[in-house]
């Protein structure tokens, strides 16, 4: 029988990740597999929140929506997100 931890085990690692500047992170597009930094994505703000598209194929890579009491991060267009961490 495999034992698992609950999602609280992610608290420390996720806090470490999101405490850094994510614009330097490298995203891989699920549409065309192009790898580029988040800073070079094409961002559109006409929708509720921000939509970031791949500069190669224009597929949606990520979405960020901020409300008064919560924020939503949708990464379904991202194969992976490599975040450089400080020493």
- What is the C-alpha to C-alpha distance for residues 61 and 43, in angstroms, rounded to an integer? 10
Q: Which domain holds residue 58?
A: 7-82
Question: Does a structural domain hold residue 34?
Answer: yes
Question: Does a structural domain hold residue 56?
Answer: yes
* pTM attached to this predicted model: 0.84
User: Could you read off the pLDDT of 61-87 as tens digits, one per residue?
Assistant: 999 999 899 999 999 999 999 999 887
User: Could you read off the pLDDT of 33-48 as tens digits, one per residue?
Assistant: 999 999 999 999 977 8
Question: Does a structural domain hold residue 33?
Answer: yes
Whether the per-residue pLDDT at 2 is higher than 80: the answer is: no
Give pLDDT, residue 87.
78
């Amino acid at each position: 029988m495999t034992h698992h931890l609950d999602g609280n085990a992610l608290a420390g690692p996720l806090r470490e990740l999101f405490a850094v500047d994510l614009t330097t992170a490298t995203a891989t597009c699920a549409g065309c597999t192009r790898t580029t930094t988040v800073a070079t994505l094409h961002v559109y703000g006409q929708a509720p929140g921000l939509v970031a598209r791949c500069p190669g194929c224009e597929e949606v890579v990520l979405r960020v929506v901020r409300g008064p009491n919560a924020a939503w991060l949708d990464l379904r267009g991202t194969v992976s997100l490599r975040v450089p961490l400080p020493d």
